[in-house]
Amino acid sequence: LDAAPWWTSAVVYQVYPRSFADSDGDGVGDLPGLIDRLDHLERLGVDVIWLSPVYASPHADNGYDISDYRAIDPAFGTLADFDRLLAEVHGRGMKLIMDLVVNHTSDEHPWFVESRSSKDNPKRDWYWWRPPREGFAAGEPGAEPTNWESFFSGPTWTLDETTGEYYLHLFAPKQPDLNWENPEVRHAVYEMMRWWLDRGVDGFRMDVINLISKDPALPDGATTGTGGLGDGFPHYGTGPRIHEFLQEMHREVFEGRSDQLLTVGEMPGVTWEDARLFTDPARRELDMVFQFEHVSLDHGPGGKFDPEPLDLRDLKASLGRWQTALGDVGWNSLYWSNHDQPRVVSRFGDDGEFWRESATALATVLHLHRGTPYVYQGEELGMTNAPFADVHDMRDVESLNHYRETVAAGADPEAVLRGLRAMGRDNARTPVQWDATPNAGFTTGRPWLPVNPNHTWLNAQAQYDDPKSVFNHYRRLIELRHALPVIARGDFRMLLADEPYLYAYERALGDDRVLVVANLSGTPQTATLDGEWSTTDLLLSNTDEPSVVNGRIAMEPWSAHVFMRS
Which residues are known to be catalytic? 207, 266
Encoded amino acid at 69, one letter? Y
Residues 2-21 that bind ligand TEU (CB under 6 A): none
DSSP state of 70: E
Q: Which is nearer to ligand TEU, 177 or 350 (CB)?
A: 177
Q: How far is the CB of 294 from ligand TEU (least distance, A)?
A: 13
Residue among 395, 399, 326 at smallest CA distance from 151 = 399
> Which of 202, 287, 340, 426 is the binder for ligand TEU (CB under 6 A)?
340
> Which of 144, 207, 298, 556 is the binder for ligand TEU (CB under 6 A)?
207
The CB-nearest residue to ligand TEU is 64
Q: What is the CA radius of gyration of the chain?
A: 24
Angle between helices 397-408 and 413-423 (to 10 degrees): 160
Rounded Cα distance between 341 and 319, Å, is: 17
Contacts of 505 (CB under 8 A, 6+ apart): 320, 368, 369, 492, 493, 494, 495, 515, 516
> Which of 20, 50, 55, 64 is the binder for ligand TEU (CB under 6 A)?
64
Contacts of 449 (CB under 8 A, 6+ apart): 19, 395, 426, 429, 430, 431
> Which of 171, 434, 474, 558 is the binder for ligand TEU (CB under 6 A)?
171
Please count the residues of this chain forming the interface with ligand TEU, following the rule CB under 6 A: 14
Rounded Cα distance between 489 and 498, Å, is: 26
Q: How far is the CB of 437 from ligand TEU (least distance, A)?
A: 29
Q: Which is nearer to ligand TEU, 22 or 207 (CB)?
A: 207
**Which alpha helices (DSSP H) does 118-172 contain, by range?**
none
47 binds ligand TEU per the rule CB under 6 A: no
Contacts of 10 (CB under 8 A, 6+ apart): 47, 48, 262, 372, 481
Cβ atoms within 10 Å, residue 193: 22
> Which of 268, 371, 431, 490 is the binder for ligand TEU (CB under 6 A)?
268
Rounded Cα distance between 333 and 267, Å, is: 12
Residues 442-501 that bind ligand TEU (CB under 6 A): none
Measured in residues, the chain has a length of: 566
Q: Which is nearer to ligand TEU, 180 or 354 (CB)?
A: 180
236 binds ligand TEU per the rule CB under 6 A: no
Residues 299-318 that bind ligand TEU (CB under 6 A): 304
294 in Cβ contact with 315 (< 8 Å): yes
φ, ψ of residue 265 in degrees (nearest 5): -100, 125
Tell me the three state secondary structure of residue 289.
strand
151 binds ligand TEU per the rule CB under 6 A: yes
| Three state DSSP letters for 457-486 | CCCHHHHCCCCCCHHHHHHHHHHHHHHCHH
- Strand partners of residue 155: 149
61 binds ligand TEU per the rule CB under 6 A: yes
Q: How far is the CB of 228 from ligand TEU (least distance, A)?
A: 20
Q: Which is nearer to ligand TEU, 23 or 377 (CB)?
A: 377
Q: Which is nearer to ligand TEU, 207 or 285 (CB)?
A: 207
Mark residues 109-148: x for contact with ligand TEU by CB under 6 A, - for none.
Answer: ----------------------------------------
> Which of 101, 229, 362, 428 is the binder for ligand TEU (CB under 6 A)?
101
Tell me the three state secondary structure of residue 91.
helix
178 binds ligand TEU per the rule CB under 6 A: no
Q: Which is nearer to ligand TEU, 397 or 560 (CB)?
A: 397
Q: How far is the CB of 325 from ligand TEU (least distance, A)?
A: 21
Residues 398-417 that bind ligand TEU (CB under 6 A): 398
Rounded Cα distance between 18 and 431, Å, is: 8
Q: Which is nearer to ligand TEU, 27 or 63 (CB)?
A: 63
Interface residues with ligand TEU (CB under 6 A)? 61, 64, 101, 151, 171, 207-208, 266, 268, 304, 339-340, 398, 425
